[in-house]
A and B are shown apart, each in its own frame.
Chain A
Amino acid sequence: MTLERLASVDAMRAYQREWLESTRAHAQRGGPFILCNSDEFEDILNAFEIPSLVINYWNFVILRSGNARPLQRQLIERGYPGPHFFSLGYATALDPAQAPWGGLPTPRLLVGSSRNDYERRVCELWAEKLGCPLFPIDFNFGSPRATPLPGDWWRTVRTDWRALTDPARVEGRYEQVRAFLNYLERDLGRPLPIADIAAAMERINRQMDIWMEADALIAGARVHPIAFRDQLAMYQAMWHRGRPDGVRLVSDYRDEIAERVARGVAGYAESGLRVLFWSVNAEPDFHAWMRERFGAIIVASPYSAMPAMYARDFDPADPLLALSARHTLLFQLTPEWMVAEAERHRCDLIISSEAIGDHGSVNERAAEAAGIPFLAIPQGTPPADAEQRLERFFSERLGRKPG
């Protein structure tokens, strides 16, 4: 069955296509264009309407173009073992003929990544290949942590981020962000006032609040109003956070969700078991199978609550401090957060894309303690194996028969 897309999600997708095309045209005319790793600096680039492309977004575009395989082969031939998702963009610089639109225009610079050793080296190689400078800003939220997080971190991350972040790293990040901002001002030959960043952060908070209103409507709806595919597609509004268009796009989404909830419009023909898919990966192949066979639908994932993780209370005179702190702590997939999300979305079960061990994971223990059945299906499990695991779980653990 073909699912009809929400009009607001379609509008988001169309907007993104137009934005990509106009950004590309701008760069080809010689305008400044920056390649940026996600959650590193794009809020500031958006604040000043400096065109930028988020690396992992570009990687997804490559993946969807269907050319990932030859690019991966190219990397392996050059001696780089996989997995290769983050390095797909670099691979297109090696072989632009395999890239969507014949490759990216040469960026003014590349910012990021400090998430891990691998991404840092990929960005170095990429910047060298493109012939542009690289500015890795250390202490990304994905970097190995200097402190463990308390279980209920997400409850206070917006308001009490100081207590949750490592002060030394926030200070270090803040100094690097300020230095990079100064560099950009010189490089672009234009002032980048702090007041404009504060205004953008105000818009980010508004955008995320509206987005979470939409999610609250989804979570509380009697009939689940949206396909998981559309929830994920709407995430593209994140690349425009803090821009007036970003606020408008999620407002339209929230309004359409509200209207569908009021009319009782369903996202799927099937209804029955509600699933939290605990993974930051794309919609799993087994979802359609699970819907049709057991009427089990994915209603939420970590992306559902992610907008709330981008909002921060901040001092308007110095918004960079809160922003730098957010760079060091955006989210972490803790079991307490998982259970809270499952309960908020009234889920009947949780499926996590984690590895299976002999000792029961902290997620499994937390879910079972909360009375929520839990199943691990590791990322990369072949579809037939995943379906077999699901079949057994639904029949033996949940007592469900295929319907």
Chain B
Amino acid sequence: MRTIGYICDNVPLELIEAAGFRAHRVSARPVATTALVDRHVKPELPFRAARPSLTESILDAILGGRVGPLDHLVIPRGSDPVTEMYVELLLAKRRSPDLPIPTLHFLDRNVWPSEEARAFNGRAIERLRAQLETWAGGSIDAEKLRETIGRHNARRARMRAVTDERARVDRDVAGSAALAAYAMETPRLPDSPAGARRLRLFLGGSEVGDASIYRWLEDHDATVVAEDHGLGQRLGEADADADEEGCPFAAIAARFDKMPGWSASMPLAERARQTVRRATAAHADAAILYVHRHDRLAAWEAPTLKDALADAGIPTLLINEASGDPDLDAESGAAIESFLRENRR
């Protein structure tokens, strides 16, 4: 079966699978050195702004073919660094044709909710459908799409069960185990001990590339019970209604319109409401907003989210300009340790 890679968490997998492809999420462990980006992308874009280490690492992994064998790659309009990968990969390919970059499709999106945005986003899904049909060499069957929608809705329901389990105060679910569960075809948590009481945390801020910070917190007698990033509980939210306007394609378009990439909900007030809802539903004792260096979107959201969490009675630590590397930098580590101590009291 041919494979289509995708970045971010709002590409409609139902459509990709209904077209007969395997969908593979492209991610990477953040690394400090991205030699291929330095060699093939930066020289093409001399005024390119500095990027967070996660997106830079994903781009480097794609340039190096370290994301598995992909026949095609769908890049959605997400945060700016994600969106810019599309043109950056095209420029890199033009400069160095031998790079193992698959054929690309850009899934555009109007990010600000409105009637016009809904129409635009619907047309973007139509273009994705046309592209998938071209790649597949045949049209996507509506019944097949209903079937994949049903399968993904069922998977999302299982993810929500994981989220609910994490929210129980009489359970001690490791956040890292929850992240692993969300990534499973059939999401399921290992048995968790009852009654243990670690500090329950909500994690927000920048996107994460793996569970490193979760494990670091678990080593410090805390656990993440809810979060706001694209590898976490968000994956289980918002089903597609296969009967939307009586058409499964309309269902995909409607869900895509509602689902921003990388949690970047508009307007900001909505993002704040979602943050508080997730943190309070999970009975978080405290929250950490961990913002990576050069992540300007997260940086300009975090103070509002911090205020909203404070209004909900949840003490919050905001860390700006963190390195974003899997090994927590010393300054961030010290600040978090102090915050955990304070809130255990």
Interface centre among B39, B43, B47, B114 (most CB of A within 10 A): B47
Q: Which 8 A-B pairs have the closest CB atoms?
A: A354-B46, A117-B297, A144-B83, A121-B300, A118-B296, A79-B303, A172-B120, A361-B46
Contact B303 A357 (CB under 8 A): no
Contact B300 A146 (CB under 8 A): no
Smallest Cβ distance from A319 to chain B, in angstroms? 19
Contact B43 A361 (CB under 8 A): yes
Minimum CB distance partner of A121 in chain B: B300
Smallest Cβ distance from A350 to chain B, in angstroms? 12
Tell me the bound Cα distance from A262 to B89 in angstroms.
50
**Could you say which residues of chain A place their CB within 8 Å of the CB of B267?**
124, 134
**Could you say which residues of chain B place their CB within 8 Å of the CB of A124?**
267-268
Within 8 A of B (CB), among A123-152: 124-125, 128, 134, 136, 138-139, 143-148
**Could you say which residues of chain A place their CB within 8 Å of the CB of B46?**
333, 352, 354-355, 361-363, 376
Any A CB within 8 A of the CB of B127: yes
**Could you say which residues of chain B place their CB within 8 Å of the CB of A120?**
111-112, 266
Any A CB within 8 A of the CB of B34: no
Interface centre among A116, A122, A138, A353 (most CB of B within 10 A): A138
Contact A179 B116 (CB under 8 A): yes
Q: How many residues of chain A get a CB closer than 8 Å to chain B's CBs?
A: 46
- Known contacts A118-B300, A139-B110, A146-B86; is-contact A359 B116 (Cβ 8 Å): no
Any B CB within 8 A of the CB of A168: yes
Tell me the bound Cα distance from A365 to B204 in angstroms.
43
Contact A138 B110 (CB under 8 A): yes
**Could you say which residues of chain B place their CB within 8 Å of the CB of A358?**
38
**Could you say which residues of chain B place their CB within 8 Å of the CB of A403?**
none
Any A CB within 8 A of the CB of B66: no
**Could you say which residues of chain B place their CB within 8 Å of the CB of A333?**
46-47
Interface centre among A79, A171, A360, A361 (most CB of B within 10 A): A79
- Known contacts A81-B299, A125-B300, A354-B46; is-contact A117 B115 (Cβ 8 Å): no
Choose one: B38, B86, B117; the contact of A359 (CB below 8 Å): B38
- Known contacts A79-B320, A362-B43, A362-B46; is-contact A148 B91 (Cβ 8 Å): yes
B interface SS class: helix
Minimum CB distance partner of A338 in chain B: B46
Any B CB within 8 A of the CB of A74: no
Tell me the bound Cα distance from A139 to B114 in angstroms.
14
Instruction: List residues of B whose CB falls within 8 A of some A CB.
Output: 38-39, 42-48, 77, 79-80, 83-84, 86-87, 90-91, 106, 108, 110-112, 114-117, 119-120, 123-124, 127, 264, 266-269, 296-297, 299-304, 306, 318, 320-321
**Could you say which residues of chain A place their CB within 8 Å of the CB of B296?**
116-118
Contact B79 A79 (CB under 8 A): no
Smallest Cβ distance from A168 to chain B, in angstroms? 6
- Known contacts A146-B106, A352-B46, A359-B43; is-contact A168 B300 (Cβ 8 Å): no
Contact B84 A359 (CB under 8 A): no
Subset of 19 A-B contacts with CB under 8 Å: A79-B318, A117-B296, A121-B268, A121-B300, A124-B268, A138-B110, A138-B117, A138-B120, A146-B106, A146-B108, A148-B87, A168-B108, A168-B127, A172-B123, A176-B110, A176-B116, A361-B43, A361-B44, A362-B45
- Known contacts A125-B304, A148-B91; is-contact A359 B114 (Cβ 8 Å): no
- Known contacts A79-B320, A81-B320, A362-B44; is-contact A172 B300 (Cβ 8 Å): no
Tell me the bound Cα distance from A179 to B301 in angstroms.
28
Contact B42 A359 (CB under 8 A): yes
Tell me the bound Cα distance from A320 to B110 in angstroms.
19
Tell me the bound Cα distance from A172 to B116 in angstroms.
7
Tell me the bound Cα distance from A138 to B116 in angstroms.
10
Contact A118 B297 (CB under 8 A): yes
Any B CB within 8 A of the CB of A169: yes
Minimum CB distance partner of B94 in chain A: A148
Tell me the bound Cα distance from A168 to B266 in angstroms.
21
Chain A 53-96 interface mask (CB, 8 Å, partner B; 1/0): 00000000000000000000000001111000000000000000
Tell me the bound Cα distance from A114 to B266 in angstroms.
12
Tell me the bound Cα distance from A328 to B29 in angstroms.
34
Smallest Cβ distance from A256 to chain B, in angstroms? 33
Any B CB within 8 A of the CB of A175: yes
Contact B108 A121 (CB under 8 A): no
